[in-house]
Copies of this chain bind each other. A is one copy, B any other.
Amino acid sequence: MKWKLDPVTRPPKPDEFALIARFLAPLAQGETGAFGLLDDGAIVDIGQGQRLVATADALIEGVHFLSSDPPELVGRKLLRVNLSDLAAMGATPFAYLLTMALREQGAPDWVEAFARGLAADQSEFGVTLIGGDTTATHGPISLSVTALGRVSPEGGLLRSGARAGDRIFVSGTIGDSAMGLKSLTDNLAGLGEKDRTYLERRYRLPEPRISLGRQLLGLATAAIDVSDGLVGDLEHICSASGVGATVELTCVPMSPAVQAAVEGDPKLAEIAIAGGDDYELLFTAPVDKRTAIEAAVRDSGVPVTEIGTVETGQVVVILGQNGNPLALKHHGYRHF
């Protein structure tokens, strides 16, 4: 789910955030578990202590994937971006629904390969297709998945619980996906073939951190999956929690491939931390939970790095290599 609000450090604009806040959030007032459409998903009490987590994300040809992208990987990415939202809530996914708008007589070859990708990830993540709709379109292929998960009666991870003094953590490495897209659509001078392949794979096949998300229940005070970029999504946490944050750029974990790209062109560092589509978990936790988090990390098998501190106030500051705040032009991806 990508419902977002106007980030704390920018004025409201007539963009998707504003559209959602103005016209859609009022439709969600009747269900407190919808969190005003400001979180990664909804948590709905369905009786008898059972809590359902639901999230939906769409992928549009020409916007989220390229016509030339292998359909298997489109299918897997579609499922994974939704599973990543469930991971950010600490939920255990179990099922999904799929709607597809297709052209060209239904494009059976494309659908066959697409479904093969879904099948591979169903096995990997323990989910099953339970329904949906297939229609025709005169335009680009349009795909939407609603993913369903369960969470314990005590609740899941929200964006809104960060408190001043909490430490900020992120899983995996940041910037791979944005740099992979740049490698596919642009020229990344001096980058070797192996680095390119790694980055493009990370762009096309995000890794939902479901196991880590579950381990963070009761430890993290706030969590989000990084889809709009590290800076933009940290702003979402800060806005939902009513806090600010300071992050040290040198602490942000970057893969050898991204490091090589940034060494070739230092301006690429901004793309790495603002570019988005990382699908890593960004979360906050009190200092005294650090040891427990280290244990959780060991259990989940995903590296986690401490990158900064939650502050009072409303401002998100990124400190550069010289210790001075960066002036970022781009905070994250927006559609309008």
Contact = CB atoms under 8 A, between A and B. Distances in A.
A125 to B, nearest CB: 12
A139 B138 contact: yes
A281 to B, nearest CB: 19
A131 B336 contact: no
A101 B100 CA distance: 13
Given A30-B122, A46-B46, A129-B24, A105 B14 contact: yes
A56 B20 CA distance: 21
Number of copies: 2
A189 interface: no
Interface stretch (A111-119, A256-264, A267-275): A111-119
5 contacts: A3-B132, A14-B106, A14-B108, A23-B108, A46-B50
Interface stretch (A144-152, A243-251, A304-312): A144-152
Contact of A108 (B2, B19, B99): B19
A238 interface: no
A140 interface: yes
Interface stretch (A37-45, A155-163, A208-216, A286-294): A37-45
B136 A139 contact: no
Contact of A136 (B29, B60, B129, B133): B60
Among all A-B residue pairs, the 8 with the closest Cβ atoms = A139-B139, A48-B48, A42-B130, A146-B146, A136-B335, A30-B128, A142-B142, A23-B115
A134 B114 CA distance: 23
Contacts of A95: 31, 34, 42, 44, 54
A137 interface: yes
A320 interface: no
Contact of A134 (B41, B106, B140, B335): B335
Contacts of A58: 99-101, 133, 135, 142, 144
B55 A3 contact: no
A207 interface: no
A11 interface: no
